[in-house]
Structures are given as C-alpha cells and as structure tokens.
Amino acid sequence: MNSLYDLIYCPRSLAKDLLTKYPDAIIEDASDDIHPERFSIRVEDTKKNYFKNVILSGIFEVSFLFQMAMRKLEDFPELKEAAEELKQEENNERG
C-alpha cells in the first residue's frame, strides 16, 4: 500500500463513486481562480487498485494522476495492469 495523492478537476458530487470507495481519504479543497472545481485526495492504496477505481468511477478524464500516467505509460505499469484486469473481469462476466 502506498499513500497516493491526486488532484480531481470536477465538483466533489461528480466524484462520489470514487469517494465512497475511500471513506478514510483525506479530501481538501484545491480550487483557485483558474480551477474553481478542484479538490485533492490522499488515499492509502496501490496504484493499480486506485487506477481501477478511477476508471470504474468514470472520472479518469479529470484525475491528474491518471492523465499523467496516460502520458508516460512506461513510468506507470500499474495503469496497464489495471486496464488488463478490468478487461479480464469484463470477459469473465460475459462468459
């Protein structure tokens, strides 16, 4: 487990699915004049599991950590692992 920090660029209400998965997360307002709907989140989790939760919550487009991982995939193998696991889970559900 790691302490992960992320910036989420949307109102908290749109990220409620992610926030319910981390009831012990530290959430702080991170808004400013340029980003009025931004907050920070600090969670204890693995990167792979966090990325899966960001994807399943549907907020991957507004997650700074996720977007950084997408730009530099070689530095974030956990993102590829998370995507592969989600694909496998979907295939298993389909039978």
pLDDT digits (tens, 9 = 90+) for 19-62: 999 999 999 999 999 999 999 999 999 999 999 999 999 999 99
Is 95's pLDDT higher than 90?
A: no
- Structural domain including 76 reads 2-94
Pairwise CA distance, residues 86 & 53, whole Å = 10
For residue 94, the model assigns a pLDDT of 86
Mean of per-residue pLDDT scores for the chain: 93
For residue 1, the model assigns a pLDDT of 77
pTM of this structure? 0.85
How many domains are there within the chain?
1
Q: Concatenate the DSSP letters of all residues of the chain into one string.
A: -EEEEEEE-S-GGGGHHHHHH-TT-EEEE---SS-TT-EEEEEEE-HHHHHHHHHHHT-GGGBHHHHHHHHTGGG-HHHHHHHHHHHHHHHHHH-
